[in-house]
Amino acid sequence: MVNHEGWIWDRDVVMRLSNLSAGYEVVYEPNYCQCFLQCIHQSDQSLSYGAIGVIVGHEFTHGFDSNGRKYDKNGNLDPWWTTGSEEKFKEKTKCMINQYNNYYWKRASLHVNGKRTLAENIADNGGLREAFRVRCNSFRSESAREQIYVGAHSPPMFRVIGAMSNFEEFRKAFNCPVNTSMNRGAESCRLW
């Protein structure tokens, strides 16, 4: 069982992307990580990419949404877009504001406020588009073969599965059954 008491964030946090000095930190809640890893084995790869890719794409898109675009690479408030880029961005976001303003949520008996939700709507749209782009570009047969023939890295899914299946702490934390793809037991490899 995972001990959630020592966590910095609430255990219900799926993922946050927060600026830490000059870098970023991506935080995943372990139960969701377990689900995503199981999805790799139990479902179509498109679903696996959709599940995690949209979330990661969403969070990274925040760096270029109506709020994130105002901060520089170090996380300081320092608008770095040209005036022309800002004007074009504002013009293009009017479409999305209007689109979401037209959605009516019966449960609340209210229309969505497209301006208030703009940053999240941009991130949702961007995340979906990026996940789709990655999926379409990454797994064409010819690029997969090229990865095997000349690539220095194993294919992405095997980089994750390979390392995690050799990591005893992971197996214990997620109660992975012995002699499964995520718990190789005595067959696990360890150099250090």
State the catalytic residues. Answer: 59, 124
CB-CB contact of 162 with 140 (8 Å): no
Measured between its terminal Cα atoms, the distance across the chain in Å is: 25
Q: Tell whether the torsion through CA atoms of 138, 129, 64 and 33 is positive or negative.
A: negative
Q: Which residues pair with 71 in a beta bridge?
A: 77
CB-CB contact of 57 with 129 (8 Å): yes
Residue appearing with tokens 């992975």? 176
The two beta strands, 110-111 and 15-20, are: unpaired
CB-CB contact of 65 with 122 (8 Å): yes
Contacts of 44 (CB under 8 A, 6+ apart): none
Cα 131–Cα 33–Cα 57 angle in degrees, nearest 5: 20
CA distance 48 to 38: 9
